Amino acid sequence: MSKKDNNSGKYWPYMILGFLFIGITLGYWTVKSAISLPVQESNEFLKKYQDVEKKGREIQEAEAKFDKEYRVLFSGLEKSDFKEKNIKRKPHQYYALKDSNSVALEITKLDGTPAKDLNVTLLLTRPQTTKDDQLFKSIPFRDGAYRVDNLTVKKKGRYILRFRAQKGDAFKFLDVYAVKK
């Protein structure tokens, strides 16, 4: 009786130490995992997502204002037969990219005359990362369109060409989905 009674309440300090050790180990693992996987900020609308959230209504109004004055047409790439797998959203039309590409954005006024005085920007990016981004600012107007001739793509995979055309306080965003096989 005396041996059993003496050892019956002495296991709880070991349990507390074990739980403390497990908690510290899991906390260390969580911090180490979080540091090894950095957060990639969204570059949709060529702005930080905080700015887009704050000015969402203004962006919609500015795009509506642009659409009342201009018509936008993308050209330069051939359509691809690439199909996304296991998606729950509406699939996009993909265009085929090569090692060296030339793309054009034809912007005309509603009466059909070319719009030569816009500020057009292009961002070539990949979904989920910003490591391989290429930014082209102030694309020149040539031959009836805003053209980028030196668009080089080295890695295979999916890409997004994000265009922004701006005139004063009116602007338009256009995403073109592409893939390099």
**Two tokens, residue 75:** 């050209």
Residue with tokens 């050209």: 75
- Please report, for the domain that includes residue 139, its CATH number: 2.60.40.10
87 lies in the same domain as 147? yes
**Residues making up the chain, counted from first to last:** 181
Query: What average pLDDT values come out for the chain (181 residues) when binned by 10 residues?
Result: 61 91 96 83 74 85 94 92 79 89 93 92 88 90 91 92 93 92 89
48 lies in the same domain as 32? no
83 lies in the same domain as 132? yes
127 lies in the same domain as 53? yes
Question: Quick one: pLDDT at residue 47?
Answer: 75
Beta strands in the chain (DSSP E): 70-75, 94-96, 100-109, 119-126, 129-136, 141-142, 145-152, 157-167, 170-180
Question: Quick one: pLDDT at residue 4?
Answer: 56
Rounded distance between C-alpha atoms, residue 151 and residue 178, angstroms:
13
Residue 29, domain extent: 2-36
24 lies in the same domain as 95? no
Chain-centre distance for alpha carbon 149:
22
